[in-house]
Amino acid sequence: GAVVSQHPSWVICKSGTSVKIECRSLDFQATTMFWYRQFPKQSLMLMATSNEGSKATYEQGVEKDKFLINHASLTLSTLTVTSAHPEDSSFYICSARVGGRNRGLFFGEGSRLTVL
């Protein structure tokens, strides 16, 4: 399968600081990447769709000024959690689609964010 790399795998930060998470497609180009948030013992919640060269599309209820997404190249999307608070602590996972419809979706390893 296709390889998606996510970094960092875990991060601890103080309340009020910003944290950037990177998502890279290593062996394919991804015009579209997706960012998910996952709470313990729950399914994946889609936060936003990241489109290369254009603005991200956010799901209802997700603050775009809080979760900044940048997709500057065909292999890199970043999620920045701005002014993080303890309630932002979660597992964040990115994914990228290989090709278009009816093609596989592959995930990064996930990033565990803990805000103190």
Q: Which residues bind other proteins (CB under 8 A)?
A: 1, 4, 6, 34, 41-46, 49, 59-60, 91, 93, 95, 100-102, 104-110, 112
- What is the torsional sign of CA 12, 53, 96, 49? positive
The per-residue DSSP string of 12-71 comes to EE-TT--EEEEEEESSS--SEEEEEEE-TTS-EEEEEEEETTS--EEPTT--TTTEEEEE
What is the smallest separation between the CB atom of 102 and other proteins, expressed in angstroms? 4
The nearer residue to other proteins, 57 or 83, going by C-beta atoms, is 57
* Residue that is written with structure tokens 């803990």 in the block: 114
What is the smallest separation between the CB atom of 16 and other proteins, expressed in angstroms? 26
The nearer residue to other proteins, 48 or 115, going by C-beta atoms, is 48
Largest CA distance in the chain: 41
CB of 80 closer than 8 Å to CB of 18:
yes
What is the smallest separation between the CB atom of 13 and other proteins, expressed in angstroms? 18
The nearer residue to other proteins, 6 or 78, going by C-beta atoms, is 6
What is the smallest separation between the CB atom of 90 and other proteins, expressed in angstroms? 13
